[in-house]
Amino acid sequence: MKRFHERDVRRFYDLLQHKSDLGLTQLNVLDGGNLIGVGLFDNEDDFVSECSRYNTLGLLQAGVNPRSSHLLDSYGGLQNRIRTLFSDVVSKEDIACVTGVVISEPGQITEAALAYQKDISVLGDGALFFPMDREIPIENSRPNRTARQIAEWFLGEATLSRIDLTSMVSVPGTSDPEGTWFHPRLQFRKYRPYILDGISESICGERGEFHD
């Protein structure tokens, strides 16, 4: 089995739904759990190209939600290219909006979230990937409030410890540093190319925003 599978990488990028007008896709390279490289991408082809270039040099992880394009004002050298960096450049204030939610504890989701379970993708570590059908804005630049209300909808508990809007996930189709000869790369456990109709409205209401 090959260590790189372009189709899975492109499928993953499609699930992210990071349109260029929404923001940037963060791509990190880790070596033994330590950050060694960061890139910020505004298009699919460059994202896939850098995944291929760095494929066997470390674990590749991408941000679930788009990062603000304002980051390029300070880190223009990271645009569509991975550069050597040993510290992250993104904070929760840099999240542009919510286009997806990853739940790492599938056994604890609410009935509302379970209703979408048959149409979602499952990542290699068993985490559930819920793509929004409409991006959810970070209301009044208050990421903690947005995260708490998303956590309440998915997990029944408005806690910041279980929903992280800056979360990174390993990129399916890329090399697994802990893989074997027969399983050398990361894969979807289940891939579903669906956007979840009505989920954004269910989470935050018809106007696409949260209310106190």
> How sure is the predictor about 211, in pLDDT bands with cuts at 50, 70 and 90?
very low
Task: Give residue 158's pLDDT.
Answer: 87
The type of residue at 2 is K
pLDDT, tens digit (0-9, with 9 covering 90-100), for 171-209 = 999 999 988 888 899 999 999 999 899 999 999 875 445
Alpha helices in the chain (DSSP H): 6-16, 44-53, 71-74, 111-114, 143-155, 199-204
For the entire predicted model, the pTM comes to 0.93
As a whole number of angstroms, the distance between CA 161 and CA 89 comes to: 21
The 3-state DSSP class for residue 197 equals coil
On average, the pLDDT of the chain sits at 93
Residues of the chain with pLDDT > 70, as a percent, come to 96
As a whole number of angstroms, the distance between CA 203 and CA 34 comes to: 34
Those residues whose C-beta lies under 8 Å from the C-beta of residue 40, and which sit 6 or more positions away, are: 24, 25, 26, 27, 67, 71, 72, 75, 78, 79, 80
pLDDT at 109 over 60: yes
pLDDT, tens digit (0-9, with 9 covering 90-100), for 45-93 = 999 999 999 999 999 999 999 999 999 999 999 999 999 999 999 999 9
Q: Which two tokens stand for residue 87?
A: 């510290």
CA dihedral 101, 167, 10, 3 (to 10 degrees): -130
Task: Give residue 209's pLDDT.
Answer: 52
Q: Which residue has the higher pLDDT, 106 or 20?
A: 20
Residue reference for tokens 């793509």: 131
Ramachandran region, residue 23 (left: φ > 0; alpha: ψ -120 to 50; beta: rest): left
Those residues whose C-beta lies under 8 Å from the C-beta of residue 71, and which sit 6 or more positions away, are: 24, 40, 78, 89, 90, 94
